[in-house]
Amino acid sequence: MNSRPFRQRRIQHEAANTDSNILPVVASPAGTPAESAGDRPDIPRYKACSLNNFRDIPQMAGLPEALKFDIEVVAQVLPFKVNNFVLDQLIDWERAPDDPLFVLTFPQRAMLAPAHYDEIAALLRSGADKPRIRAAADRIRLELNPHPAGQLSHNVPSLEGETLPGMQHKYRETVLFFPGQGQTCHAYCSFCFRWPQFVGMAELKFASRETDRLIDYLRCHPEVSDVLFTGGDPMIMSARNLASYIEPLLEAGLPNLRRIRIGTKALSYWPYRFLDDDGDALMALFERITASGRHLALMAHFNHPRELEPAAVQKAIARVRQTGAVIRTQSPLLRHINDDPALWAEMWSRQVDLGCVPYYMFLSRDTGAHDYFSVPLVRAWEIYRAAYQRVSGLCRTVRGPSMSADPGKVQVLGTSEIGGRKVLQLRFLQGRNPDWVHRPFFAAYDETATWLDELQPAFGESRFFFDEDAGAA
């Protein structure tokens, strides 16, 4: 038998960019030293696992073959990747396959429509070759709305007539920046809308290696106060690479740039990133940002209260906070994972206890395995409200449930009855047009709707006020 059950890796961070054939490979710059855990004995080596080696995970041995076959089938379409921290410290194998952290990690049969499942399963059973499987998988993927909310085509800014790949500017105050080196993740969450980029479908049109254009853009747009580094997961980068994006920004002397945000799942999925040798360099970078007088926010992604339990996670949170950075937390509401008010109340409370600030509860995006994870809007509001009622005001910094839809972030405010008509009340938390924000609007009550585009205006209007083009059609 294989004595190395799954790949051992010395390299912790950038290595994740090259560790799988399903990933778009982003080369490390020449001369980048290999990062290791150093000589800190409590930090394990990073080991990655995906479709080609998941059967070798020791904990998998106890699970039925049919389940492993399901993983194999679904993973042809929806990618997955996991590391030893998630396997050893987050998943409760006693409760697998129903354990929420297991479901979050491994593809589930019901994530594919039965016809899609049957097609891929038949190909695998008949021993079809890779190109045939890949062709079928690609065709199925195109049916799964790989680019929701105009992700690729809308909101890409331009400067002097030239488009700026690797940036998105949708809401007035905040520019998203996708550093070319940070376009993968420590694990692929099964609900995530970024799945097309993990299978090479997004062509990484987003990725940008240059901060220069970002600086030029910020100079021309004094209304922008925030830059949000996103990915993938920018925390996959070494401190040195991240610094190569951030330091020029700090040095550019942009008076409007007040806040730097970094989106990440690493606190939960690879907390050692903040604790090992490169973590020292990262903390020094964080300190340089806060010392410059700017607000640094880690937009941390936690889906389940159990992710806050491991000692390494708590240590990582404490360390980040020591730099003056604020950790703000967000998560989608996901059926099978966290569709329970008690769980959200516990998650927000623990986050506040650890010094984090609850920020957004999202609705699961209309892409990929949306049908598997989605919770109807009415139910989502009930869960949010029941959770919100249970926690102190310090946890009530959270806002939701919110859909990141094409016109903006839309919050479900609840149900009511107006003029004898049952309605859903909503509002924009962010809008493509800032004037839309916090203007209440009403949709006809619909208990099954899971997304904005399934709703109808409440009082017979032909369109919602923000549907600018619909009237012209």
**Interaction partner, residue 188 (ligand PLP, ligand SF4, none; CB < 5-8 Å by kind):** ligand SF4
Query: Which of 277-280's residues contact partners 24+ apart within 8 Å by CB, and which partners?
Result: 277/35, 277/36, 277/37, 277/38, 277/40, 278/12, 278/13, 278/35, 278/238, 278/239, 279/239, 279/316, 279/319
Pairing of strands 226-229, 259-264: parallel
| Count of residues touching ligand PLP (by CB under 6 A) | 9
Contacts of ligand PLP in 333-352 (CB under 6 A): none
Determine, following the binding rule CB under 6 A, whether residue 189 of this chain makes contact with ligand SF4: yes
Q: Which two tokens stand for residue 188?
A: 């692929």
Question: Residue 158 and residue 160: Cα distance in Å, rounded?
Answer: 7
Question: Residue 294 and residue 226: Cα distance in Å, rounded?
Answer: 10
DSSP 8-state assignment for residue 37: -
Q: Is the dihedral of CA 84, 89, 94, 98 positive or negative?
A: negative
**Interaction partner, residue 430 (ligand PLP, ligand SF4, none; CB < 5-8 Å by kind):** ligand PLP
Which residue of 53, 174, 292, 456 would you call a contact of ligand PLP, by CB under 6 A?
174
Determine, following the binding rule CB under 6 A, whether residue 273 of this chain makes contact with ligand SF4: no
DSSP 8-state assignment for residue 39: T
Determine, following the binding rule CB under 6 A, whether residue 233 of this chain makes contact with ligand SF4: yes
Question: Residue 225 and residue 382: Cα distance in Å, rounded?
Answer: 34
Which residue of 6, 188, 451, 464 would you call a contact of ligand SF4, by CB under 6 A?
188
**Interaction partner, residue 265 (ligand SF4, ligand PLP, none; CB < 5-8 Å by kind):** ligand SF4
DSSP 8-state assignment for residue 253: -
**Interaction partner, residue 346 (ligand SF4, ligand PLP, none; CB < 5-8 Å by kind):** none
Q: What single letter denotes the amino acid at residue 317?
A: I
**HSE-CB for 163 with a 13 A CA cutoff:** 11
CB of 101 closer than 8 Å to CB of 304: yes
Determine, following the binding rule CB under 6 A, whether residue 194 of this chain makes contact with ligand PLP: no
Pairing of strands 295-301, 259-264: parallel
Which residue of 20, 364, 404, 411 would you call a contact of ligand PLP, by CB under 6 A?
404
Which residue of 116, 170, 301, 336 would you call a contact of ligand SF4, by CB under 6 A?
301
Which among 11-19, 229-237, 343-351, 389-397 is the span making contact with ligand SF4, rule CB under 6 A?
229-237
Q: Can you state the percent helix, strand and coil of the chain, rounding each to 5?
A: 40, 20, 45
Determine, following the binding rule CB under 6 A, whether residue 181 of this chain makes contact with ligand PLP: no
Cα of first residue to Cα of last residue in the chain, in angstroms, is 64
Determine, following the binding rule CB under 6 A, whether residue 268 of this chain makes contact with ligand PLP: no
Our CB check for ligand SF4 shows the closer of 185 and 227 to be: 185
What mask of x and - would describe binding to ligand PLP in positions 81 to 120, judged by CB under 6 A? Answer: ----------------------------------------
Question: Residue 19 and residue 369: Cα distance in Å, rounded?
Answer: 24
Our CB check for ligand SF4 shows the closer of 261 and 301 to be: 301
Nearest Cα neighbor of 22 from 3, 40, 48, 1 is 48
Contacts of ligand PLP in 212-241 (CB under 6 A): 228
Determine, following the binding rule CB under 6 A, whether residue 346 of this chain makes contact with ligand SF4: no
Min separation Cβ 51 and ligand SF4, Å = 15
Our CB check for ligand PLP shows the closer of 177 and 442 to be: 177
Question: Residue 373 and residue 366: Cα distance in Å, rounded?
Answer: 10
Question: Residue 138 and residue 117: Cα distance in Å, rounded?
Answer: 13
**Interaction partner, residue 176 (ligand PLP, ligand SF4, none; CB < 5-8 Å by kind):** ligand PLP
**Interaction partner, residue 170 (ligand PLP, ligand SF4, none; CB < 5-8 Å by kind):** ligand PLP
Residues that bind ligand PLP in the complex, under the rule CB under 6 A? 168, 170-171, 174, 176, 228, 404, 409, 430
Where does this chain bind ligand SF4 (CB under 6 A)? Answer: 185, 188-189, 192, 194, 231-233, 265, 301
